[in-house]
Chains A and B, each alone.
Chain A
Amino acid sequence: MTSLRERFDDAAASPAPPSRLSAAEVYAAAWRRRRVRTGLVAVAGGFTAVVLVVAVVVGTAGSGRHQETAGPRPSGSSASPKPSPTGPSGAFVHDGVVLGATATDGSHLYAIQAACPTDQIESCTTDLLGSDDAGQSWTVRSHGIDDLGGMSVPAPGVLLVGQGKQHISTDGGRTWTALTFSAGARAVQTVAADGWVACVSAKTGGCALYAVDPHSGTARRLAHQPAMAVYSVQHVPVGAGLWVTGSASGTGHAAVAVSLDHGKTWTTHVFGPGEPDYPTTVSGSETALTASLDGTTAYTVVSISMIDETQAREFVYRTDDGGKTWHRTDPRHTLPWAYHGDESYIAADGTHVVASVAGDPAQWYGSRDDGSTYQRPAGVTGLTGLQDMREAVRVIAPGVYVAYDTTAVFRSTDGLHWTRLPLPTHPR
């Protein structure tokens, strides 16, 4: 009689097809999902040794879709995404899948869509679609957009794509300019009023913050860095200040830093100290993400995962003074822990809406009492049943909320009532 262990070993040794998984793609896809706002940017080529960017073939889709402008390739010496045999990043990519979406205002929406002439992922490329009428109609603006870093609007009217090598567009995605990061240049004191801050991988841990000047297409190191290891620049509406999260040196506890003066000074807060129920030992990971509408009131959700998930914790903190002081909300722990459950946004009426991505299709918890209690359903309509959300809800500006899943783009003017906007079917 064959032992059960031998039977399992034998079954596990079944002839297997080659795996499509690679460390670089999985790592990149994971981080894109974590919505690192500007990605980990290469400086002086040092990052290129690590194959993080899975760019896609430029202009090979042969799209037959109605096209306002022939998809221009990014301009500039380093602006052309490199071909890759792997196609768009991430799993479950097939023709028509939405890989990214954002908006520059209530009328102008953008989406990155996979275009796969065959069933093989290797054949896939990407199209950037744009809409000037709030998603009623779409036109192809560009081909071959690097979808890994997601797509964001770091400044009014500016589209930013790419992870590793980044490109910006100020004409609705028709032409693109590569950003140049200068590690050796003299540090700048502040971020320009119409610029933004980028997170550049640092050898000292986390990332260093760079100030991006959209006019020159260059980025230089900020002279004043937060006193913590920064892992992520937070998505907040333009004008709400600069918000970053990461971990404290030494303890490794989640931390947040805020600058309301364009990066000249930073206020840092470490979560955990003085909180008796905050775990001192973390067997999994400890992350924090922040949501704010106005730069004054903000929520940070700290997610602490453990090997034993019964020990995992989710803590919510709120500030009403621009990050100077924080207090724990949800004293009765009505918000359960969930993988990627630290992603949240604030609706126009002040409701704090938190994603529970572990419950795919996406589910939402909401608090209408300043974070005291969370309930599900969250009172959000039109945003249920989303499948495989890759990024959290984005609040581009007050009144401009955008989300997407693999099937469509979703927009809202208040974060509570959502409209699903399907993209045109890709004709072959």
Chain B
Amino acid sequence: MPSDTFESQRQFSEYFAARRDVLRRTAYLLCGDWHWADDLTQTAFMRLAVGWQRVRDQGALDAFARTCLIRAYLSETRRAWRRRERMYAELPEPPTGTDATEGTVARVAFTDALRQLPPRQRAVLVCRYYHDLDVAATAEALGCSQGTVKSHAARGLARLRILLGEDVDQRPVTMVEGNQ
């Protein structure tokens, strides 16, 4: 635990530098917009900063920050006035020229498919298949029951399959409670 304000600020800055991009990219997966991702990341770090001097369990920082981020995202998606997500009537034009590789097209298709999932399904999939969280940890991050996590994961995966027009291989995922 930091012993003084200077030290806690230094530690916060170090943690920020080390984890900002991880949180920001997670936020991007959730919201699909880099500017919104910045806002969400800022919100998460602000909550962390305020409590920094009194965080008792430094080992739990990542989980705390991730929870703050996901809660901020879910909270904002409930507020129409806050909703910044851009809704596309159709897939965005894939990049052209040298960037128009198969991989890039697949990435755009995937992010667009993600964007079409309801926020909670998206958050569950990000926790389970990007952060490799088990069902219990995912439920803790979202603030919901494990049954809800399983339900959202199943529906989200099913929807992804339809949107992508192909099956999705769920490996490798930490299998604690079994895959959906």
Binding site for B on A (CB under 8 A): 1-5, 7-14, 16-17, 19-21, 23-24, 26-27, 29-31, 33-34, 40, 46-47, 50, 52, 91-92, 201-207, 231, 247, 252, 281-287, 305, 307-310, 339, 358, 360-361, 387
Contact = CB atoms under 8 A, between A and B. Distances in A.
Contact of A203 (B6, B79, B173): B6
B168 A14 contact: no
Given A5-B130, A20-B38, A30-B45, 15 more contacts: A4-B170, A7-B110, A11-B111, A21-B38, A21-B45, A23-B17, A27-B13, A29-B42, A252-B54, A281-B57, A283-B64, A284-B55, A285-B54, A305-B47, A361-B81
Contacts of B60: 283, 307
Looking at chain A's contact residues, is the secondary structure mostly helix, strand, loop, or mixed?
loop
A247 B41 contact: no
Contact of B172 (A5, A21, A26, A310): A5
Contact of B114 (A9, A11, A92, A206): A11
Nearest to A24: B13
A307 B29 contact: no
Given A14-B28, A17-B34, A21-B20, A91 B47 contact: no
B140 A308 contact: yes
Among A30, A205, A286: residue with most chain B CB under 10 A: A30
21 contacts: A1-B167, A4-B125, A4-B171, A5-B130, A7-B110, A12-B29, A14-B107, A16-B34, A19-B41, A21-B41, A27-B9, A29-B46, A34-B50, A50-B10, A201-B5, A206-B4, A252-B54, A283-B60, A284-B64, A286-B51, A287-B54
A3 B107 contact: no
B51 A14 contact: no
Contacts of B53: 205-206, 231
The 9 closest A-B pairs by CB, nearest first: A285-B51, A30-B46, A30-B49, A23-B16, A8-B130, A23-B13, A12-B25, A201-B5, A3-B169
B130 A50 contact: no
A285 B20 CA distance: 20
A30 B114 contact: no
Contact of A33 (B46, B75, B111): B46
B56 interface: yes
A283 B141 CA distance: 13
B106 interface: yes
B63 interface: yes
A10 to B, nearest CB: 5
Looking at chain B's contact residues, is the secondary structure mostly helix, strand, loop, or mixed?
helix
Contacts of B1: 252
A28 to B, nearest CB: 9
B155 interface: no
Contact of A3 (B3, B45, B170): B170
B34 A40 contact: no
A386 to B, nearest CB: 12
A361 B82 CA distance: 9
Nearest to B72: A339
Given A1-B169, A2-B169, A8-B29, A23 B12 contact: yes
A244 to B, nearest CB: 15
A231 B49 CA distance: 13
B93 to A, nearest CB: 16
A202 B7 CA distance: 10
A10 B102 CA distance: 12
Interface string B10-32: 10110011001100111011000
Contacts of B130: 5, 8-9, 12
B5 A207 contact: yes
B95 to A, nearest CB: 10
Contact of A50 (B9, B56, B125): B9
Interface in B123-171: 125-126, 129-130, 132, 140, 143, 157, 166-171
Contacts of B173: 4-5
A4 B129 contact: yes
Contacts of B106: 2, 7, 10
Contacts of B57: 281, 283
Nearest to B112: A11
Contact of B169 (A4, A9, A27): A4
Contacts of A282: 54, 56
A5 B174 CA distance: 11
A201 B50 contact: no
Contact of B6 (A92, A201, A283): A201
